[in-house]
Amino acid sequence: MIAHVGRSAVAGIKAVGRFGQFVSDMVRALSDVATWGRLTPVQMRRVGVDSLPVALFIAAFTGVVLALQASYTFTGTVPLYFVGTLVGKTMMLELGPVLAGLALAGRVGASMAAELGTMRVTEQVDALETLAYDPQSYLVVPRVLAGTAMFPVIVALAILTGILTGWLASLLLLDLSTQEFIKGLKLFYRFKDTWFGLFKSATFGFTITLVGCIVGLGTRGGAEGVGRSTMQAVVYSAVLLLMLDAFWAMVLLR
Amino acid sequence: MIQFQDLHKAFDGKQVLTGFTLDVKDGETLVIIGYSGSGKSVALKHVVGLLHPDAGDVTVDGRAVSTLDRPSLAALRREIGFVFQFAALFDSLNVADNVRLGLERRGLPADEIAERVREALALVDLTGTDDRYPAELSGGMRKRVGIARAIALRPRYMLYDEPTTGLDPVTSAVMDRLMVRTREHLGVTGVVVTHDMRSAYTVGDRIAMLYEGRVRQVGTVEEIRQTEDPVVRQFIEGRPS
Ligand SMILES: Nc1ncnc2c1ncn2[C@@H]1O[C@H](COP(=O)(O)OP(=O)(O)O)[C@@H](O)[C@H]1O
Ligand SMILES: [Mg+2]
């Protein structure tokens, strides 16, 4: 029992050590601009294409549901224009970043883990090294930068989409006028609502792509290993994303 | 000169190399034979620092590979061409771009890169395949692109990991001829890992057998053919025990 706990602790410490090493290698590779500079736009396009449709799809339906739930909850005691407040705040602060983030974990994180995992087990990563490239600056930096930069953009579009469908639902299903919806939307709005959601999104994008790269490059054992890595990347990044979400709420919203 | 010096390597407590010692002389082609899983690829990867030894080291012209810092290791890798078992071509790049990638890293002028790509593909008889992708090529063609990618860099050493494994006899003979041609053309020192004895006899000057983590016997092709060692005999004759 004690031996088991000891072994787990040692394994845990080693994992943290490997993670730290990976991140410090990645930071060092930032100086190799010549390599990652031309590869980053390719990855940005890919992150956008992979995640934008699903993020907007989710946001569109969420906006409608939020409007209807708000009106259902208020039942006449709270003025109806608060629907605008609730839709706006919830989309910006929480559901925009988190739902899009979970979708991104499934799409982008998984595809990066599968791609880098395949490259690892087919020795393409070794081949890159023998050609005197650093896999960090050739593979990891472009992906992590792309995730960090693109994700706030995707989330911003998702938030706008959710507010738009929330407004349409209010207009068509709740007899709420446009003026009233906008009045509610502006009511408790603070600039922090915007930057908090987008900053959070950048950290989600960073985490998801970093986990995808670490898990992918750590793949062992053929096609089966690639499948295992893909699954692990989704699970780890989703769990980390939710923990990070709670962390930012505690640090920045109190 | 490449020297494997008392190399030890274990994975997850499983000993693979246990005192592997072998010298590769300048200008020769040395063949390392041994059973699947005996650690031939592991030994080869230590030469370019893809694996880190538990003890011992590989020296290349006196440089101990595991002690090199990043710039020196990069410089060393520029002198060594590595041909991977399954070619390890980049799926997302076409044939010409696969060959070009290492040249771009050297910062050569564009016209010299184009010339070297053309020349390397011609040397492996793949002129005109520039725009094809690895997934569209046969196994033998992929391996030839892998050779072209390495020789375009004009290395002093060439390391081949199982160049003929999985190929039909005729394609294997083509690969053997290419290795001989590469050596004549570039004057490279070569290490070839294989368990294909026909290939070993064709391309090798000397042959070493890796067995249970060490060199069991090393000698000229003739010496190995005449060996009295029962383990080596059994392997080269392909007899089940
Ligand atoms: N990166 C690695 N991690 C764990 N085990 C490995 C690794 N590389 C090789 N091995 C193990 O080392 C042994 C020798 O492998 P290898 O050198 O590929 O054999 P071969 O002689 O067929 O080339 C095998 O048992 C293999 O499973
Ligand atoms: Mg092997």
Tens digit of each residue's pLDDT (9 = 90 or more) over A176-188: 899 999 999 898 8
**Where in the sequence is the domain holding A248, given as residue range(s)?**
39-253
Dist. CA B89–CA B78, nearest whole Å = 18
Residues B132 and B64 grouped into a single domain: no
| CA atoms within a 13 Å half-sphere pointing along the CA-CB vector of B172 | 17
Instruction: Inform me whether the pLDDT recorded for B119 exceeds 80.
Output: yes
Sorted by sequence, the CB contacts under 8 Å of residue A137 that are 6+ apart come out as A29, A30, A32, A35, A36
Domain range for residue B202?
A: 2-79+155-237
> With an 8 Å Cβ cutoff, are B88 and A133 in contact?
no
Which residues of chain B approach chain A closer than 8 Å at the C-beta? 45, 48, 50, 74, 77-78, 80-82, 84-86, 88-91, 101-102, 105, 149, 153
What residues contact B15, with CB distance under 8 A and at least 6 apart?
B8, B9, B213
Are B150 and B35 contained in the same domain? no
- CATH assignment at residue B61: 3.40.50.300
Is there a contact between B101 and A124 if contact means CB atoms under 8 Å apart? no
User: Cβ separation of A123 and B105 shorter than 8 Å?
Assistant: no
Radius of gyration, alpha carbons of chain A: 21
DSSP, collapsed to helix, strand or coil, labels residue A190 as coil
Q: Which of B154, B173, B207 is the endpoint of a domain? A: B154
Within this chain, do residues B127 and B164 fall inside the same structural domain, yes or no? no
Which residue shows structure tokens 């002129």?
B127
The answer to whether position A17 is within a domain reads no
**B142 shares a domain with B105:** yes
A46 within domain boundaries: yes
* Domain end position, chosen among B130, B154, B178: B154
Tell me which DSSP letter residue A133 carries: -
Helix (H/G/I), strand (E/B), else coil: A75 = coil
* Confidence at residue A253, expressed as pLDDT on a 0 to 100 scale: 83
Task: Convert chain B into a string of H (helix), E (strand) and C (coil).
Answer: CEEEEEEEEEECCEEEEEEEEEEECCCCEEEEECCCCCCHHHHHHHHCCCCCCCEEEEEECCEEHHHCCHHHHHHHHHCEEEECCCCCCCCCCCHHHHHHHHHHHCCCCHHHHHHHHHHHHHHCCCCCCCCCCHHHCCHHHHHHHHHHHHHCCCCCEEEEECCCCCCCHHHHHHHHHHHHHHHHHHCCEEEEEECCHHHHHHHCCEEEEEECCEEEEEEEHHHHHCCCCHHHHHHHHCCCC
In-domain check, residue B64: yes
pLDDT, mean of residues A51-79 = 90
Q: What percent of chain A has pLDDT over 90?
A: 71
Q: Residue A175: pLDDT above 90?
A: no
Say whether pLDDT at B241 is over 80.
no
* Residue A19 domain flag: no
What local confidence, expressed as pLDDT, does residue B132 receive? Answer: 96
Residues with a CB atom less than 6 Å from ligand 1: B 11, 16, 34, 36-42
Residue A166 belongs to a domain: yes
The model carries a pTM of 0.91
Q: Are residues B142 and B161 in the same domain?
A: no
In a domain? residue A21: no
Looking at residues A103-129, what average pLDDT do you find?
Answer: 95
Look at residue B86 and tell me if it is in a domain: no
Asked if residue B75 and residue B106 are part of one domain, the reply reads: no
pLDDT of residue A6: 82
- Report the domain count for chain B: 2
B49-108 pLDDT tens trace: 999 999 999 999 999 999 999 999 999 999 999 999 999 999 999 999 999 999 999 889
- Ligand index nearest the alpha carbon of residue B84: 2
Q: Tokens 């000169």, residue?
A: B1
Structure tokens at A100: 């899009």
pLDDT in tens, A6-54: 888 888 888 888 889 999 999 999 999 999 999 999 999 999 988 899 9
Mean pLDDT, to the nearest integer, of B182-189?
Answer: 91
Alpha carbon of B18 to ligand 2 centroid (Å): 17
Phi, psi for B28 (deg, rounded to 5):
-90, 165
B134 & B48 share domain: no
DSSP A174: S
Nearest Cα of chain A lies from the Cα of B88 at a distance, in angstroms, of 5
pLDDT exceeds 90 at position B110: yes
Taking residues B167-192, what's their average pLDDT?
A: 92
Residue B18: inside a domain: yes
Residue B50 exposure: Cα atoms within 13 Å on the Cβ side: 24
Q: Are residues B47 and B132 in the same domain?
A: no
Q: Reply yes or no on whether the pLDDT at A2 is more than 80.
A: no
CB contact under 8 A, A132 and B85: no
Domain co-membership, B169 together with B68: yes
Last residue of a domain, one of B119, B154, B189: B154
Identify the DSSP state of A65. Answer: H
Could you give the number of structural domains in chain A?
A: 1
Instruction: Sheet containing B55-60: give its strands across.
Output: B14-24, B2-11, B55-60, B63-64
User: Mutate which of B8, B32, B33, B41 to test ligand 1's pocket (most atoms within 8 Å of Cβ)?
Assistant: B41
Evaluate whether residue A28 is within a structural domain: no
Q: Are residues B123 and B31 in the same domain?
A: no
Mark whether B173 and B109 lie in a shared domain: no
| Residue B84 resides in a domain | no
Is the pLDDT score of B168 beyond 80?
yes
